[in-house]
């Protein structure tokens, strides 16, 4: 039995990932693509943006596990073997990073830091009126493990938090939940700061265009840490230009790396980070991946298995 590590993005970290998995699963042979030795021995593929088509080479593959929270890099492979569980990475350190990233931008916008920065450039001393956190509604699209963790952190800071997802969910405690396209407008119309944590699927691509963005209140904010392609970038720019959306913190984009000639780079109301909101920690994540592999070996279901339109 062996585990295959495959990535076109993490090559400089592959030895760290290998070491982490070897420590977590000393009984397994860990190979880094393309040095897989015997293709018949490979039972688990642990991947991030793997070379297209390679997974069909392994006849005894039992599961595909992602090195990150997203799996769009897996399901977009046209030669993906059918019928295998695809396991997302839900690791406490990755989740913690995404919470911190979200809190940073929520507080930045909530406390008018974006505006004070503009005032500083003009040497303006203007004190803005304070808004209490309980009077600010944070809307989260995608109430999976990460979305719920972000929401609970904001609830603990006395923000009002609401959520939206494609399907009904069980009780989310203090988070009021909306679901389905028929409730999207109601959700958006109450949202002062929108956090997107949705994965990119056929059903979520371009789910926020000018038609949906219109429902956001005047002067709202957007934080996108899910995937690019969910928010139509041209429509977003138009809403930023008009001031309907006051500012946006974007960590993910339709095309990555973001092209140098993309107008988002120089837009005065846009804050750009290079897809770093939730970076996987190899040592911590290796333990989580090992736990899921052992569940599969014991005939149990790994967690969480990818399902269409689930939030991160």
Catalytic residues: 227, 275
With CA atoms as reference, report the closest residue to 63 among 41, 90, 81, 89.
Answer: 81
Cα separation, 55 vs 5, whole angstroms: 11
Phi, psi of 311, deg, nearest 5: -80, 160
Q: How many residues does the chain have?
A: 312
Return the bridge partners of 265, or none. Answer: none
Q: Measure the N-to-C terminal CA separation of the chain; round to a whole number of Å.
A: 30
Q: Where are the beta strands (DSSP E) in 115-198?
A: 137-141, 160-165, 176-179, 193-196
Q: Residue 6: exposed, middle, or buried by beta-carbon count in 10 A (0-12, 13-18, 19+)?
A: buried
- Structure-token match 């997203």, residue found: 70
Q: Residue 265: exposed, middle, or buried by beta-carbon count in 10 A (0-12, 13-18, 19+)?
A: exposed
Rg from Cα positions in the chain: 21
């Amino acid at each position: 039995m062996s585990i295959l590590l495959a990535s076109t993005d993490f090559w400089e970290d592959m030895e760290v990932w290998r070491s982490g998995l070897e420590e977590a699963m000393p009984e397994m042979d860990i190979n880094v693509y393309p040095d897989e030795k015997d293709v018949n021995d490979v039972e688990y593929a642990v991947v991030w943006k793997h070379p297209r088509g390679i997974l069909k080479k392994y006849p005894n593959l039992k599961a595909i596990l992602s090195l990150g929270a997203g799996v769009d890099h897996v399901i977009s492979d046209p030669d993906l073997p059918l019928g295998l569980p695809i396991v997302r990475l839900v690791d406490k350190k990755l989740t913690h990073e995404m919470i911190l990233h979200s809190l940073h931008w929520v507080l930045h916008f909530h406390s008018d830091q974006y505006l004070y920065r503009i005032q500083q450039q003009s040497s303006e001393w203007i004190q803005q009126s304070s808004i209490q956190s309980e009077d600010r509604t944070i809307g989260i699209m995608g109430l999976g493990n990460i979305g719920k963790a972000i929401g609970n952190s904001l609830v603990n800071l006395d923000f009002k938090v609401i959520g939206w997802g494609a399907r009904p969910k069980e009780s989310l405690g203090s988070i009021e939940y909306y679901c389905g396209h028929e409730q999207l407008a109601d959700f958006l119309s109450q949202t002062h700061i929108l956090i997107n944590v949705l994965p990119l699927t056929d059903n979520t691509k371009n789910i926020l265009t000018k038609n949906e963005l219109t429902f956001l209140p005047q002067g709202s904010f957007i934080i996108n840490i899910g995937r690019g392609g969910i928010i139509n970038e041209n429509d977003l720019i138009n809403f930023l230009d008009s001031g309907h959306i006051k500012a946006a913190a974007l960590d993910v984009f339709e095309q990555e790396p973001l092209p140098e000639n993309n107008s988002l780079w120089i837009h005065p109301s846009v804050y750009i980070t290079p897809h770093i909101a939730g970076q996987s920690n190899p040592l911590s994540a290796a333990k989580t991946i090992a736990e899921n592999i052992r569940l599969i070996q014991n005939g149990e279901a790994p967690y969480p298995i990818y399902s269409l339109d689930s939030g991160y």
